Amino acid sequence: MSLPLGTRLGPYEILAPIGAGGMGEVYKARDTRLERTVAIKVGAAKFSERLAREARAVAALNHPNICTLHDVGADYLVMEYVDGATVSGPMPVEQALKLAIQIAGALEEAHSKGILHRDLKPSNILVTAKGAAKLLDFGLAKLAVDSDATQTMADALMGTPMYMAPEQAEGKPADRRSDVFSFGAVLYEMLAGRRAFDSLAAVVRDNPKLLDAPAEVARIVTRCLAKSPAERFQSMAELRAALERISSRPAEWQPSIAVLPFANMSRDPDDEYFSDGLADEIMNTLAHLPGLKVTARTSAFAFRGKEQDITKIGEALHVRTILEGSVRRSGSRIRVTAQLINAEDGYHLWSERYDREMADVFAMQDEIAAAIAGALEVKLMGQPLARRAHQPKLEAYEAFLRGRHEILKNAPEAVARAKQLLEKAIELDPAYAEPHAELGYYYWLQGLMGLRSALETTPAARAHAQRALELSPADARAHAVLCAVASAYDHDWGEAGEHFRLALAAVHVPSEVRARCALNHLLPLGRVREAMEQFDRALEQDPLSVWARGVFAIALSWEGAYDRALIEAQKAVEMDASHFMPHFVIGLSYALRGEFAAARPAAERSVSAAPWYAPTLGLLAGILAQLGEKERADELVARLGNMARVGLLLYNLLCSGNDTTADWFAKMIEDRDPVAPPWSCLKPLRSSPRWPALAKMMNLPEEAI
């Protein structure tokens, strides 16, 4: 019941209603003794215990971002009056981070006193005219040390549904991580201008729409909103520290660099493998420097042979500096010139020429990296640049560079040449880890692309990846291969998870490792939110990678996000119209929507670009069959007879319905087909009545079924 203006509660005179406040009504009032404005929260009799609980909670706290308790009466609380508005979005990222740090600090103070808020939401946060956040309404506050046994279901379910943590929504006990979830929902709304969840069911079941925010910020919000408390920040102190790190050093201030392909100035044009390899090795060394953002090879090398302004390259790659150079080999001598350029204005920051014997190439790479670190003022922790654990023999190093140069051409005949060169590198230097890691991926790729039986190639992929780890235990690429082997071949998701963890724990995680782990581990387990986060980070590192954007688009199409898949695939086409992957995704997205005429042109182009890839043939065959071109469709199906079963899976998905598709998928699982786990994400497949049985064939855990 509202109180009339002028009502006296002890020495306090009611001036105006402010609004509801949890378990009571809140009024603006005047303290007649001290002649100051205060806020009074008046509770009904049935809420007297909760009002008393709030009084005890707030009285225990002393923090500039928590509304101060002045006094307490029999059925009211007297609080600091905050002249401000409830927090709302969307707001600029910098402003949201500033407020978020204050709110996190207030909750950290509450948690340090053993107090959980349990009802964090925008209406319980006021922002003053000076931009300070004030946390209020501890009406549902609860001591974290309270016995769970004394908590009733009604007590557990107290809170505001759209901001309530999943465990609260399910009537389970709340802890500090429950406030972390609610904090994530508030920060999401501050940034997006919309709620993360529109119902209690969505809180428990759904992930919010992807947040349009800098990747570092989006990752923090995503982690806060993890359904499992174990996957969230484990304390407000940890969360506040993460927010302060990115706030104190915004992405645009972070030292960043792209290493362009070094020009081959040698007389022999085939020496390009060496100039590319040298730039690549410098890039990899720089990537291990703390605090330096390094653009991945694919994106940096996309500018080979293109006369473009350095400032435009910097804008395209989102970096502040560019390293370019040239290499000239003559007998046993090598001359390298390198220039570090400010991408904002084109001015040189540093340049140097190196004349060395080939035997000194490794020391020279480290010299260049150290000079760049110094020019960019990147800290090396007070120590010289770490030397590589194993310095390979020069002949083995050259064979490895040649092999990697071939494998990156991404053509079957080039990949075959790469295998021989990598094997030669191992023969010349058995203790050299990198060729083993590349061969592990080579053998895995052979099975993945359907070029050879997975039963034949997977043991070799496993053996080489394991040997790479014996020689270099932190090799992220080798862990990524073993993650894929464990999931697709062994159906051992615990082992896959351990390799996934170790791959992402490396000092430098290549963008392709993030994408592979998302495809082979996170998506099959239904951890879509985390998979999309890894794709986002991969594309942040490698923004011009057609392959990375293509696999991101195909993952979106599997999830049924066809419009976004088409957008991402079209971006990839604009980067390289000759690559089969984006055309394949465009054809697949249209076909899965039943728009077969629209799907056909892209499917035709994908087959022209990759006639050896079974999914392109299966997709086009299914489209043609749906368009009534049975003869050509049958011809393509006949070609699929000796290729990977995923092509026939796609054909049957488009032509025969879910039951026949499930039959083909079961055969893929039996064959240990490496594409089975990723393709299990197909929405039509997961909606099949046979999906639970298929999932059990892959030993997927219960929560992924």
> Cβ neighbours of residue 142 under 8 Å, at least 6 residues apart?
53, 115, 116, 118, 155, 174
How far is residue 43's CA from residue 23's CA, in Å, rounded to a whole number?
6
Q: At what angle do helices 176-192 and 215-224 cross, to 10 degrees?
A: 140
Q: At what angle do helices 546-558 and 562-575 cross, to 10 degrees?
A: 170
Contact status, residue 475 vs residue 288, Cβ threshold 8 Å: no
> Cβ neighbours of residue 335 under 8 Å, at least 6 residues apart?
265, 327, 328, 353, 354, 355, 356
How far is residue 144's CA from residue 122's CA, in Å, rounded to a whole number?
22
Ranges of beta strands (E only) in 537-669 are none
How far is residue 419's CA from residue 425's CA, in Å, rounded to a whole number?
10
Helix (H, G, I), strand (E, B) or coil at 370: helix
**Residues β-bridged to residue 31:** 12, 36
Q: What angle do CA 337, 342, 344 make, to 5 degrees?
A: 150
For residue 628, count other CB atoms closer than 10 A to its CB. Answer: 8
How far is residue 163's CA from residue 186's CA, in Å, rounded to a whole number?
7
**Residues β-bridged to residue 327:** 264, 336
Contact status, residue 663 vs residue 630, Cβ threshold 8 Å: no
> Cβ neighbours of residue 430 under 8 Å, at least 6 residues apart?
none
CA distance readout (Å), 398 to 260, 271, 279, 325, 475: 20, 10, 14, 19, 20
Burial class (CB in 10 A: 0-12, 13-18, 19+), 522: buried
The catalytically annotated residue of 119, 276, 429, 475 is 119
Closest CA to 343 of 402, 407, 293: 293
Look at strands 76-80 and 69-72 and give their pairing. Answer: antiparallel
CA distance readout (Å), 138 to 60, 67, 102: 11, 10, 17
Reported as type and span, the H/E element at residue 426 is helix 412-428
Is 429 annotated in the active site? no
Contact status, residue 569 vs residue 553, Cβ threshold 8 Å: yes
How far is residue 655's CA from residue 624's CA, in Å, rounded to a whole number?
10
In order, the DSSP letters of 460-493 are HHHHHHHHHHHH-TT-HHHHHHHHHHHHHTS--H
Peptide bond into 92 cis (omega under 30): no
Catalytic residues: 119
